[in-house]
Amino acid sequence: MHRRRFFSQEEAENSVYWALRDGYRLIDTARIYRNEAGVGRGIQRAVDEGFVTREEIFVTTKMWTDDYDDGAAAVDASLDRLGLDYIDLMILHHSQPENDVEAYQAMEQAVADGKLRTIGLSNYYEPEDFDRLVHATTILPALIQNETHPYHQSMGMKEHIAQYGTVMESWFPLGGRRNT
């Protein structure tokens, strides 16, 4: 059985710090990765040393399904763990029809409150599932982050979301599971 290895907070801090020092400007994390605190410390260290400003960094994090019942608290908890005043992009990590609309609405309120700059989705693979959420909310998802790669190009979904102005961002872009 394969067990997922998570980076320690120290590894996350150092990875983010050195990535920013080397010119990276997009940081993508998630509550479920268990590294938001380390990511935040790496960002703060880089900002404190003066080779990057917070405004030059684009920080993405994701709300995990266990947090959908209290999305407002989940947003605040991510902000606290990251040590940031705002998050550039927060994404719902997975489709969960029983409560993802309410979680998304909490993210919409966080946009209105200045806590989030923009919002999106991840792991929504069917047009009907995407539409279900979009038709129940007011802010269109800026992006959808799905597994896409040469073996799973998701052309139908890309075409579907284009009508909303939503773009697809890939995770696992070089091959995916069982295609390494």
Residue 123 lies in a domain: yes
The answer as to whether 122 is a domain residue is yes
Whole domain around residue 89: which residue ranges?
Answer: 9-171
Average pLDDT, the chain: 93
In a domain, 130, yes or no: yes
**178 lies in some domain:** no
For residue 1, what pLDDT is reported? Answer: 46
| pLDDT by 10-residue block (mean), the chain, 180 residues | 69 97 97 96 98 98 98 98 98 97 98 98 97 98 91 90 96 68
Residue 4 in any domain: the answer is: no
User: The CATH number of the domain where 55 resides is what?
Assistant: 3.20.20.100
User: 17, 24, 33, 86: which one is catalytic?
Assistant: 33
> 1 in a domain, yes or no?
no
Q: Is residue 36 part of a domain?
A: yes
The amino acid sitting at 4 is R
Q: Catalytic annotation on 68?
A: no
Quick one: tokens of 167? 């773009």
Cβ neighbors of 101 (< 8 A, separation 6 or more) are 132, 133, 136, 137
pTM greater than the 0.85 cutoff:
yes
| Domain count across the chain | 1
